[in-house]
Amino acid sequence: MNLELLNPQQQDAVTTTEGPLLILAGAGSGKTKVLTNRVAYLIYEKNVSPFSILAITFTNKAAAEMRERITDLIGVQGERVWASTFHSTCVRILRQEITYLGYDTNFVIYDDADQQALIKIILREMNLDEKKYPPKTVSAKISACKNELQTPRDMQRAAFGNEYEEKYAEIYRLYQERLLKDNAVDFDDLIMLTVQLFLEEPEVLEKYQDRWRYIMVDEYQDTNTSQYTLIKLLASKYRNLCVVGDDDQSIYQWRGADIRNILSFEEDYPEAKVVKLEENYRSTQLILDAAYDVIKHNTGRKNKKLWTQKKGGHKIVYYTALDESDEAFFITRQIRQLKEREGRSNRDFAVLCRATAQFRAVEESMIKQNIPYRIVGGTKFYVRKEIKDMIAYLSAIVNPADEINTNRCLNAPKRGLGDASWKRLLTFANEQHIPVGEALLRAEEITGLTKRFMLTMTRFGRLLEDFRVKSKEMAITPLCQWILSESGYWQELEGEDSVEAAARQENLQEFLSITSAYDLRSKVGEDNLAQFLAEVALFTDLDTYVESDDQAVIMTMHGAKGLEFPVVFMIGMEEGVFPHARSINSLEPEEMEEERRLCYVAITRAKERLFMTRTNVRLLYGRQNCNTPSRFIYEISTDNIEDLSIRVQHKSTSIAFGDHVGIRAKETPQPETILPEYVVGDKIMHKKWGEGVIVSLNNTGVDLELKVAFPEQGVKTLIAKYAPINKLS
């Protein structure tokens, strides 16, 4: 190993191998390099078995990159290091141990669509209105409970006396019972059940504690309660836990992430060592300064500031457009100009949006200007009907008790069986205490079915059984081809002879490409199909993004985390868009702090150039709004901004550019906000929180911050320019 290739702080993080270690790794500071070198150091310098090392991250893409870089460093031994996501790690544990919890090891993993299909069945059985209990809302509530390790009984206790919430708790209870009956788990169960297993079976926990004596966790700031508990249990015996993260990049509170996990690491592990990685290898100093200008306004953060040897850099370009179409045209014009002047590739550009609803205008302009692009975060491949149908067949083959997927493939293609026939089949299966797959084979015993329906069900049951036998001796790709042919699915698509059917055939061919890639790195065997389905279930849309593809990228700011681009456009920099209206209206300061962290993440995706745009008028969610500029713009030093906000007064000159018309106008100076003079002790009236007293002041001018003590709300930090306040004295 050549540690001289690392800076002093990176070397310190790599060579600190025993006991708890917190690595505060700023954006672009080389944390993956540190983690992979730390693995190599453990193996080569400390003689640690690669079998004893567990490295966990959040995305399949990050895990694959980590595995590849570890193998590049140490060769074939790197393949024995378990570098994986939280959920993949738990799947591996549960495949071996889930029988302790009453499941079979051939369980299937239900995705969002499967979950909601099951919830709809439960709502019908409970005679509950889907409008009053929307399946998406029910699913979200159940997910939130599982992320907090709350069981149906916990939810029932919390809901006591609230009839509406008690219904949700009852749905949750029935939902879990049905999952167990179907031998299925959902995405959140993977971690919750693993934690339950460790708590209920100490010998199983000790087995994995002894297996993984050195644990590393990436993106620790994004962990939720269940993930935090899982890691704490695994690391509790040997305490060789290294966590890497950046509290300034904690942006997933809305899905359960708890920033306190990283902020309180030293309380959990008093003997912990802390190493800060503050040298940035990605962005120019000017971009880093702009990011710090924004993030320094947050109070819930650890003190650190990124720096780089790439001094200077291009100023941040700020542009005010007429509307979202003008904004999109400005973006595509800049892309074309930079491609012509600097010889940039399409893949150098990323357009980052706060919400997917902003994609449309940008996409239309990309098409008009003939700029190749792709959307990351749009319609996901695995939720398309034909792909869901294919996966339903594979799931029903693996797990004969899977009612949701067996029902789906029963009429794919159509076999003339309706709800009444299906209900009779389920009733028979329940009465006989057999899985639905076996009930199909015994359909002639079901009372109330016509001979035609009995024959159809029996044939389908035999078909699935034939597929099940073939799955143990065939690779995934030929198995899928056999299913498409023997089930009649492919023939039905050919018979439709439509554009939509042709598109579905293309998608199925793409699915076969995915299975072929899997077949190249797997062995045919009894567990092969189950392992493939687990991999598919954990697939995210980001896994389809390939940096080498020469296409501009349109994506959300959340989706961009972990990526980098030479040129970044942050659009919709307006109050109510970014920061989101929800955070502005919230009484919880933490929500605005998370929006500011999201801004910090978006800024630090840029390596060389950064553009920020807003509009005077924006049509969003069917409503037209005139929003004021985002507070984040004003937080950045004016020395670092090149303001192109030239707008129309009365007359404008049109200039042709392709098939679009741009606007050139005389510069209109931006009006300055005149603030009252505030001093400590002044009383103010807040629109929501009532009367308060100023206890301290920070900054000056448009950056003025007030700390105000409210009798019932406590001390709040307000930005004078934006806060809904009036001075009383």
**Looking at the annotation, which residues are catalytic?**
31-32, 218-219, 249, 605
Structure tokens at 561: 């985390």
Count the helices and strands in the chain (H runs, E runs): 28, 24
Other beta carbons within 10 Å of 309: 8
The sign one gets for the Cα dihedral 613, 617, 619, 620 is positive
Residues 439 and 428: their CA atoms lie apart, in Å, by 7
DSSP 89-100: HHHHHHHHHGGG
Query: Is residue 28 a contact partner of residue 280, using CB atoms and an 8 Å limit?
Result: yes
Q: How far are the Cα atoms of 163, 504, 641 from residue 645, in angstroms, in the given order?
A: 54, 46, 11
Q: How many residues does the chain have?
A: 729
Distances (CA, A) of 422 to 248, 271, 284, 330, 445: 52, 60, 62, 56, 14
Using alpha carbons, select from 613, 575, 579 the residue that is nearest to residue 593: 579
Is the Cβ–Cβ distance between 528 and 476 less than 8 Å? Answer: yes
Cα gap 145→147, rounded to integer Å:
5
Q: Is the dihedral of CA 333, 334, 340, 345 positive or negative?
A: negative
Is the distance from CB of 215 to CB of 56 less than 8 angstroms?
A: yes
Q: Is the peptide bond before 669 cis (omega within 30 degrees of 0)?
A: no
CA dist., res. 566 & res. 568, Å (int): 7
Q: 386, 385, 384, 364: which is closest to 373 by C-alpha?
A: 364
> Rounded to an integer, what distance in angstroms lies between the CA atom of residue 189 and that of residue 192?
5
Q: Which two tokens stand for residue 345?
A: 């590739």
Q: Give the residue among 494, 280, 539, 265 at the shortest CA–CA distance from 388.
A: 539
- The answer to whether the beta carbons of residues 540 and 59 sit under 8 Å apart is yes
Q: Is there a contact between 728 and 722 (Cβ–Cβ < 8 Å)?
A: no
Whole-angstrom Cα distance, residue 318 to residue 569? 10
Residue carrying the six token digits 């219904």: 167
- Find out whether 577 and 631 touch, Cβ atoms under 8 Å: no
Collapsed DSSP state (helix, strand, coil) of residue 693:
strand
Distance CA 243, CA 20 (A): 8
The CA–CA distances, whole Å, from 684 to 233, 433, 470 equal: 49, 69, 75
Separation CA 58–CA 288 (nearest Å): 25
Nearest to 175 by CA among 203, 142, 147, 149: 142
Determine phi and psi for 727, rounding to 5 degrees. Answer: -80, 130
Dig out the tokens for 32 from the structure. Answer: 């993956």
Tokens of 581: 């209206």
Phi and psi based region of residue 488 (left: phi greater than 0; alpha: psi -120 to 50; beta: remaining) = left
